[in-house]
Amino acid sequence: MTGMIVKALSGYYYVRAEGEASDSEPVQCRARGVFKKRGESPLVGDKVHFSLTENGEGTVTELFPRSSELIRPPVANVDLAILVFSVTEPTLNLQLLDKFLVHIEHAGIPAVLALSKQDLESEGEFTEEAALAASSVNRIYRKLGYEVYGTSSRKSAGIRELKERLEGHLAVFAGQSGVGKSSLLNALVPGLTLETNEISNRLGRGKHTTRHVELIDIGGGYVADTPGFSQLDFGELGVEDLSYCFVEMRKLSPDCKFRGCTHVHEPGCAVLAAVEAGEIERSRYDHYVLFLEEMKDLKRRY
């Protein structure tokens, strides 16, 4: 039989058979020993072949090739990342937003931005700083080709549009804590009652809990219920990969005079010329330089 792993927990893989309804119980499976010998490990999101055993459980017998693989969180075949940032409480941090985007671009996954807590604007709880941050996200990131959705879980604003965008995808939600990721998931799936902060507690942030990844069926698509990219260090990235993860630099790099240009001090650098001409957003370039230093510092320490 063919199916997809929707949950992994304590050495068991829970597989939903192809064509089964979303409310049907997945089959609890063990993986064949051959995977261990090959150094392979089934992941949530994997499409698999499995066979049923006599006790009503099953065995995962084969993994299909993956379109993508994330290390943190460990999910396969994610084809959309929803970056959730609140416009206020906590205040929108563009440096952190760029850091998330670097990791998602490096993983080769299309990213969509969701600005949560938009209802606070209409309720007059917007500081000038929050209003400025929201407008700069729209101005900077739309121009780079990223889709931006304004959402409010309390007022259901933007929820239908976001749900339509998720249709047919296996998505991961990422973003700093406290931005309303669980509230957004609750709004997307009526009847899902994830308490705010419950996701992180359920997944090993509390004292007596088990860390696991699970797919939530949102009707026509799946979302990985996970703390997301919780540790954003640059250990997995090479210094030469960084500029590739900034879409505007990726386009200009071939026009630089020198191959392997770091876009910091080289003569004939197309990126530096674009920054000077105001064609590349200064905040994005400053964050690039900052991340570059962070990566070099990391390499020096090891």
Binding-site sequence positions for GTP: 116-119, 175-183
Quote the CA–CA distance of 162 and 114 in Å, as a whole number: 8
Which residues are documented as binding site for Zn(2+)? 256, 261, 263, 269
The b/e string for 259-283 (b: 16+ C-beta within 10 A; e otherwise) is eebbbeeeeebbbbebbeeeebbee
Structure tokens belonging to residue 252 = 């200009």
Residue type, 178: G
> Strand pairing of 213-217 and 2-9?
antiparallel
Per DSSP, the residues of 113-166 read EEEE-THHHHTT---HHHHHHHHHHHHHHHHTT-EEEE-BTTTTBTHHHHHHHH
Contact of 102 with 144, CB cutoff 8 Å: no
Specify whether the backbone of 146 is left (phi greater than 0), alpha (psi in -120 to 50) or beta: beta
Q: Strand, coil or helix: what is 16?
A: strand
Contact of 136 with 98, CB cutoff 8 Å: no
Residues 6 or more apart whose CB falls under 8 angstroms from that of 3 comprise: 15, 16, 17, 18, 20, 26, 27, 47, 48, 50
State how far Cα 160 lies from the chain centre. 20
Which residues are documented as binding site? 116-119, 175-183, 256, 261, 263, 269
Contact of 107 with 232, CB cutoff 8 Å: no
Contact of 91 with 133, CB cutoff 8 Å: yes
